[in-house]
Chain A
């Protein structure tokens, strides 16, 4: 994991896309096997009964992937300020998701270097989650 510095970042910089495969097992394991959660996360039949094409991928798992994706891009000395996402359409377990992102703003705010990114998850090239992430990134030493 390498460190990114504020001076080296420009608007429209793109993050390397990252593929993740959500599975029913991952959905259940994410919340812990002993924790009750939405049955549609771990059971394709329950998802179909609710009108979806199979088991649903939990929104909080996708939010966590996005958080982790930007954190890894920013580096270990960066600090996450906020992540905001809108769930646009359901994702079905077993279909790969691609995370992609780009820098939309960089500014100094109260002495901190703030970088803002737009991030999406894509299934079949269609956005399923859209998000904005703000992260504080250090200056080059």
Chain B
């Protein structure tokens, strides 16, 4: 694999940083919460039947696809390498939230185990009907070029 010593991130890629998607409505569904709780053997009373509260991992069902128009394609392939979930308030079942995704950074990673790669970071804010942030997720995609076979 050839060493890359110069960034492949262009001004055009950098110009995308800070751009936001249109809001997408997502709904934490009761049936998803039940199915996931059962699968994880989760008997936590905080989000048991009848509480109206979703378990925090309901975010796994709600995360919108990363919008192509916000995704700079610096290298040919990419995988999810980091995720962070933050919670500001309990997520209520069946209460629609507006998900807004923003490209927050594009960064080189020179060297390392897999050679040159690029870290692309997105944040999705989940806003309730009062416009307050109920939760947020941060996703880092590591882009790389597949070695020629």
- Taking beta carbons and an 8 Å cutoff, which residues of A are in contact with B? 1, 26, 29-32, 35, 59-61, 63-65, 67-68, 71-72, 76, 79-87
User: Are B86 and A68 neighbours in the complex by a CB distance under 8 Å?
Assistant: no
Q: Which of B3-11, B36-44, B98-106, B123-131 lines the interface with chain A?
A: B36-44
Partner of A80, one of B39, B43, B87: B87
Give Cα distance in the complex from A86 to B121, angstroms.
13
- Seen from chain B, the residues whose Cβ lies within 8 Å of a Cβ on chain A are 32, 35-36, 39-40, 42-46, 55-57, 60-61, 63, 79-87, 138
Q: Which chain A positions have C-beta within 8 A of B56?
A: 67, 71, 80, 83
B83 contact from A1, A32, A76, A84, Cβ within 8 A: A84
Q: Which 7 A-B pairs have the closest CB atoms?
A: A64-B57, A84-B84, A60-B60, A82-B86, A86-B82, A67-B57, A68-B40
Please determine whether A87 and B85 come into contact, CB atoms closer than 8 angstroms: no
Summarize B's interface: helix, strand, loop or mixed: mixed
CB distance from A3 to the nearest CB of B (A): 11
Q: Which of B57, B79, B82, B86 contacts A85 (CB 8 A)?
A: B82
Report the bound CA distance from A31 to B32 in whole Å: 8
Q: Which residues of A contact B84 (CB under 8 A)?
A: 82-85
Give which listed residue, A29, A63, A82, contacts B39 with CB less than 8 A.
Answer: A29
Closest to A58 in B: B60
Cβ distance B124 to chain A, nearest Cβ, rounded Å:
13
